[in-house]
Amino acid sequence: MTRDPALAAKTQQLGMSTRQLVWRLGQFISCAALTHGRSGDAGLSKNMLENAAMVGEALGAVPPPLFPPAADAVQGARAALDYVLRTVPEALATAVDTLGSDHRIVLNCSLRLGLLELIAALGPGELQAAEQAVREAARSLGLPESFQQRLSGVVERIGMSDAAKHITETYREAYSWLGREPIRTPQVRLDALESTAPAVFLAQGRPKTSALRAADGAADTRLLSWTLGTELATAAISRVSPDRRQRGDELFRELGETGAQLSITLPPLPAIVGNYGHDTSQAINYLVFGEGTTIAEQLERRHGADRGALFEAGAKLRVWMILYDPNGPEPASHPLATIEPLVASLLRTRVPSRIWGPLLAMEVARPSLADFDALCHNVRQEVLSYLGTRR
C-alpha cells in the first residue's frame, strides 16, 4: 500500500497499517479541535495535537497549527469545523495521497466522526449530511455493517452524556477493521462518458453555461449545480485515460465559469501519476469523498441544501455509470457501483422519485450496458427538463 520502504518497516514494527495510522491521525486532530473550540483549554488541546503530530510525523503528514482561541463557544465551534473540514484536508491532501488510493477517505471519515456533536449544533440537516458522508466513506473502505449500526447509535445519542463514549467505541471498531486489506478499484467504462452530454453543452465538451438561466436572466443555480456534478465527473474521470486527458483538462477549465456563476472556486483535479488503479481511485475520491464534499458544502451554504445534493447526485450518477458491469460480482465489488449512495443524494434533491425511480430496478434486473446507458441518459434528461421548468 505504501510507497515508502522506511514507513512500511515502521508500520510493520508497530503492528499497524498506514490506514490505521491515518485513522488515528484524524481522530487525534478532531479531538484536539473539538476541545480547543469548546473550552479553549490550550493545555489539553495542545497535548492532543502533539499526539496527532507524532502520528503525522511517522506518515509525513504533520497537521497544521490550531486556530486562535475564539471569543465564545459559537465562534469556537465554527472555527473548529473550519479547521477540521477545510484547513486540515487541504494541508494534508498531498502527503496522505502518497500513502494509498483510499487514505484520503480514511482521513475525512475519521475527521467527521469526531465532530458529529459539533455539526449537530448547526441543525438536523447538517448532521444528516455529515452522517451520510461518514456512511459512504465507511462503505468505500469496506467497513462492516456493524459499523453502520454503531454509527446510527452514535447519532441517536448526540446531546446525551454518553455520546462521546459511543464515538470512541466507533473509532475503535473501525480501527480494527482498517488493518485488513482494502477493496480494489475496478476497471471503469470510459465509453460511458460518451454521447450523454445534455443539450446545453456545445461541441468539444465546452459547457454553454449561459443557457442555464431562468426567465429573469439570473443563473439557474439548480441546473448549474446538477450540470457541474455530471460534467466535473466527466472531466475528472476522462483524465485517467491518456487519450482523453487533454479533453478532460479543457472541460475542467471551462467548468471554472460554471463555478464562478455559482460563486465557488473548483479545487484542482488530482495529479495524474500514470498508474491506472491509483488515478481512477483518486478521481472517484475527489468527486465523492474529498473535494466533491467541499463543493457540495459550499453550494449548500450559498444556495440551499438541494443545490449541494444536486451536485452530489450528478457526480454519483456519472460514477455509477462508469462502474456498472452487468456481469460483475454479487455484491458489487465497489460500493459506488451500487445504487444506495446515489439514492441518498437524490432523496435530498427534491426531484420527484417518478423521474429517477426506474434506476432502483437496475441492480435486480442487471440490464445490458446499452439498456443501462439508455435509461441513465433518459433520467439525466428528465432531471434537466424538470429543473428547467421549476421556478
Helix (H, G, I), strand (E, B) or coil at 391: coil
* Of 156, 177, 198, the domain-final residue: 177
pLDDT at 80 (0 to 100): 87
26 within a domain of the structure (yes/no): yes
Query: Does 228 map to a domain?
Result: yes
Residues 37 and 132 occupy one common structural domain: yes
* Residue in the structure block whose three cell numbers are 467548468: 255
DSSP three-state, residue 241: coil
287 plus 362 within the same structural domain:
yes
Average pLDDT over residues 39-44: 61
| Beta-bridge mates of residue 207 | 201
Residues 142 and 217 in one domain: no
What percentage of the chain reaches a pLDDT higher than 70?
78
Cis peptide before 331 (omega within 30 of 0): yes
How large is the average pLDDT for residues 8-35? 72
Residue 142, amino acid = G
Q: Answer yes or no: is 354 within a domain.
A: yes
Task: Count Cβ atoms within 10 A of the Cβ of residue 190 and give its class: 0-12 exposed, 13-18 middle, 19 or more buried.
Answer: middle
pLDDT digits (tens, 9 = 90+) for 215-257: 444 458 889 999 999 999 999 988 888 888 898 899 999 999 9
Which is higher by pLDDT, 166 or 23?
Answer: 23
Q: Are 323 and 349 found together in one domain?
A: yes
Q: What is the pLDDT of residues 121-152, one digit of tens each?
A: 777 777 888 888 888 888 777 777 777 778 88
C-alpha distances in Å from residue 34, one per residue of 107, 180, 258? 16, 29, 35
Per DSSP, the residues of 316-351 read HHHHHHHH--TT--SS-SSGGGSSHHHHHHHTTTT-
Closest C-alpha to 363, from 314, 306, 318, 325? 325
Provide mean pLDDT across the span 271-294: 79
DSSP designation for 361: G
Both 36 and 80 in one domain: the answer is: yes
* Amino acid 391: pLDDT: 44
Grid cell locating 233:
465527473
Instruction: Read off the pLDDT of residues 369-387 as tens digits, 9 standing for 90 and up.
Output: 888 888 888 888 888 888 8
219 in the same domain as 98: no
| Residue 283 in grid coordinates | 478521481
Query: What are the tens digits of pLDDT across the range 320-341?
Result: 887 776 665 443 444 455 666 7
**Which stretches within the chain are classed as H helix?**
5-14, 18-39, 42-59, 73-82, 88-97, 103-114, 116-120, 124-140, 145-156, 163-177, 221-238, 245-261, 276-288, 291-303, 305-323, 340-346, 353-356, 362-365, 369-389
Tell me, yes or no, whether 104 and 205 share the same domain.
no
| Domain identity same for 234 and 171 | no
| pLDDT reading at 25 higher than 80 | yes
Instruction: Look at residue 263 in the predicted model and tell me its pLDDT.
Output: 92
Mean of per-residue pLDDT scores for the chain: 76
Q: Could you say which of 129, 155, 177 is where a domain stops? A: 177
Nearest to 223 by CA among 232, 214, 236, 234: 214
Number of Cα atoms under 13 Å in the Cβ half of residue 157:
16
What are the distances in angstroms from CA 28 to CA 11, 35, 107?
Answer: 18, 11, 11
Of 342, 309, 295, which is closest to residue 323 (Cα–Cα)? 342
Mean pLDDT for the stretch of residues 256-270: 90
Residue 183 resides in a domain:
no
Claim to verify: residue 362 and residue 297 sit in the same structural domain? yes
Write out pLDDT tens, residues 83-115: 988 899 999 988 888 887 788 888 988 888 888
Given this model, what pLDDT does residue 40 score?
A: 56
The Cα 244–Cα 233 span in angstroms is 13
Binned at pLDDT 50, 70 and 90, residue 16 comes out as: low
The residue segments making up the domain with residue 102 are: 5-177
Domain contains 337: yes
Answer yes or no: is pLDDT of 62 > 80.
yes
Q: Indicate if 279 and 147 belong to the same structural domain.
A: no
Q: What is the pLDDT of residue 235?
A: 92
Please say if the pLDDT value at position 74 is more than 60: yes
Q: Return the pLDDT at 44.
A: 63
- Is the pLDDT confidence value at 294 over 50? yes
- The domain tally of the chain equals 2
The answer as to whether 34 is a domain residue is yes
Does one domain contain both 301 and 349? yes
**One-letter identity of residue 296:** A
Q: What is the pLDDT of residues 165-179, one digit of tens each?
A: 788 888 887 877 776
pLDDT tier at 180, thresholds 50, 70, 90: low
Q: Do residues 351 and 224 both lie within one domain?
A: yes
Say what the pLDDT of residue 41 is.
Answer: 59
185 part of a folded domain: no
Confidence at residue 232, expressed as pLDDT on a 0 to 100 scale:
94
- Reported as a pLDDT band with limits 50, 70 and 90, residue 42 is low
Q: Is 356 buried (19+), middle (13-18) or exposed (0-12) by CB count in 10 A?
A: buried
Burial class, 268, CB count within 10 angstroms (exposed 0-12 / middle 13-18 / buried 19+):
exposed
Query: Which residues, other chains included, contact 8 with Cβ-Cβ below 8 Å and sequence gap of 6+?
Result: 2
**Which amino acid makes up residue 226?**
W
The last residue of a domain, from among 177, 200, 229 = 177
List of residues 6+ apart from 20 with CB closer than 8 A: 175, 178, 179
Q: By percentage, how much of the chain surpasses pLDDT 90?
A: 11
219 bridge partner residues: 213
348-377 mean pLDDT? 79
Grade residue 184 by pLDDT with cuts at 50, 70 and 90: very low
More confidently predicted of 117 and 270: 270
pLDDT at 64 over 70: yes
Q: 188, 240 in Cβ contact below 8 A? A: yes
What is the predicted pLDDT for the residue at 49?
A: 80
If 0-12 CB within 10 Å is exposed, 13-18 middle and 19+ buried, where does residue 146 land? exposed
Looking at the domain assignment, is residue 351 inside a domain? Answer: yes
Of 157-171, 344-358, 359-373, give the lowest mean pLDDT range. Answer: 359-373
